Amino acid sequence: MGIINTSRIKSPWIMHFDNSSCNGCDIEVLACLTPLYDVERFGIVNMGNPKHADVLVVTGPVNRRTARVLKNLYAQVPDPKMVIAVGTCACSGGVFHNCYNILGGVDKVIPVDVYVPGCAAKPEAIIDGVVLALQKLSKALGVAK
């Protein structure tokens, strides 16, 4: 089991889902994949498929329409999985929190492991968030560090 747990830390594949974000955070998430930040050096790959993903990166506040999509996507990610809420809107609803169509942050619908605040969240902060999620996972699995 040791090698599988080590591999889980070394190879988090992310799937990025945009609820009703203004696209500010989405651009910053994709900026992590550029040569400047290059998250693939940590084994992080951006997957378009929830069935291959380990980490669900969610941006934007949840509205009534995207809530069921988000639940569906969360159910399709195989265990063990993690959820990272990127941006102020995804954390709490942000400036949209009182809107008639907004339910609030991502944690209103699915359990969230790591919150990355910021409007928009910087790529450094997003990478930090993924590292924090991995530390949380390694603690849960009982792997050293």
Give me the phi and psi of 25, to 5 degrees please.
Answer: -70, -35
- Smallest gap from Cβ 105 to other proteins, in A, equals 26
Q: How far is the CB of 141 from other proteins (least distance, A)?
A: 10
Interface with other proteins (CB under 8 A): 1, 3-8, 10-11, 13, 33, 35, 38, 40-43, 45-49, 51-52, 54, 76, 78-80
Q: How far is CA 119 from the centre of its chain?
A: 15
Between the CA of residue 7 and those of 43, 54, 101, 124, what are the distances in Å?
10, 12, 41, 23
Closer CB to other proteins, 5 or 20, in the complex: 5
Cis before residue 53, ω within 30 degrees of 0? Answer: no
- For residue 77, the minimal CB distance to other proteins (Å) is 9
Complex with other proteins: residue 1 or 144, whichever CB lies closer:
1
Q: How far is the CB of 92 from other proteins (least distance, A)?
A: 29
Q: Please, which residue, 37 or 107, has the CB nearer to other proteins?
A: 37
Which is nearer to other proteins, 72 or 101 (by Cβ)? 72
Q: Which residues contact 56 (CB under 8 A, 6 or more apart)?
A: 14, 15, 17, 50, 73, 74, 77, 81, 82, 83, 84, 110
What is the C-alpha separation between 57 and 112, in angstroms, rounded?
10
Residue 77 or 102 with smaller CB distance to other proteins: 77
Write out the H or E segment, with its range, that includes residue 103.
strand 102-104
Minimum CB–partner distance for residue 2 and other proteins (Å): 10
